[in-house]
């Protein structure tokens, strides 16, 4: 693998001693360099942000609302943000195959959030 990486790499006229060096210079991963070479045969688009990707939901579908107990969230990500957790934590607990203990943990966290919101409303 290292022999393949130690190949002079030309990116828009700039010569680098390896794919890794080119990746470091353009702020991308070495796998992005090899992917462009493999799929496009050129590094002309390297580091230009022309991949067409966007952060978050990349498939064009709208997020599905998530209802847990009495609270409804716009998406799993919104639920995770409200609970102060990451989205994977929520996903593991809402999937149909989740263990009952994990589901209970999610319901408890939502109930605590609901109670905190109620207290905040009462203080106003």
* CA proximity to 87, closest of 95, 76, 97: 76
Mean pLDDT for 86-97 is 93
**pLDDT more than 90, % of the chain:** 44
67, containing H or E segment: strand 66-68
* CA proximity to 43, closest of 58, 63, 54, 28: 28
**φ/ψ of residue 17, rounded to 5:** -70, -20
Q: What is the pLDDT of residue 50?
A: 56
**Model confidence pLDDT, tens digit, residues 24-50:** 888 888 888 888 888 888 787 777 765
pTM for the structure as a whole: 0.52
Give me the number of domains the chain comprises. 2
* Mean pLDDT of the residues in the chain: 83
| Whether residues 113 and 72 fall in one domain | yes
| Whether residues 111 and 75 fall in one domain | yes
Q: What is the pLDDT of residue 113?
A: 93
Containing structural domain, residue 100: 66-123
Distance between CA atoms of 46 and 23, rounded to whole angstroms?
Answer: 8
**Nearest-5° Cα angle at 123, 119 to 124:** 125
pLDDT at residue 17 tops 80: yes
Residue 26 forms part of a structural domain: yes
């Amino acid at each position: 693998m290292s022999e393949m990486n130690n190949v002079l790499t030309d990116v828009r006229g700039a010569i680098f001693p390896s794919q890794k060096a080119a990746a470091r210079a353009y702020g991308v991963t070495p796998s992005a360099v090899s992917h462009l070479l493999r799929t496009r045969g050129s590094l002309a688009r390297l580091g230009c942000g022309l991949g067409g990707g966007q952060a978050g939901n990349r498939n064009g579908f709208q997020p599905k609302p998530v209802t847990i107990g009495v609270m409804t969230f716009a998406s799993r990500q919104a639920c995770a943000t409200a609970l102060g957790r990451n989205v994977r934590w929520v996903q593991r607990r809402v999937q149909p195959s989740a263990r009952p203990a994990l589901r209970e943990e999610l319901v408890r966290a939502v109930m605590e959030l609901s109670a905190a919101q109620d207290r905040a409303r009462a203080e106003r």
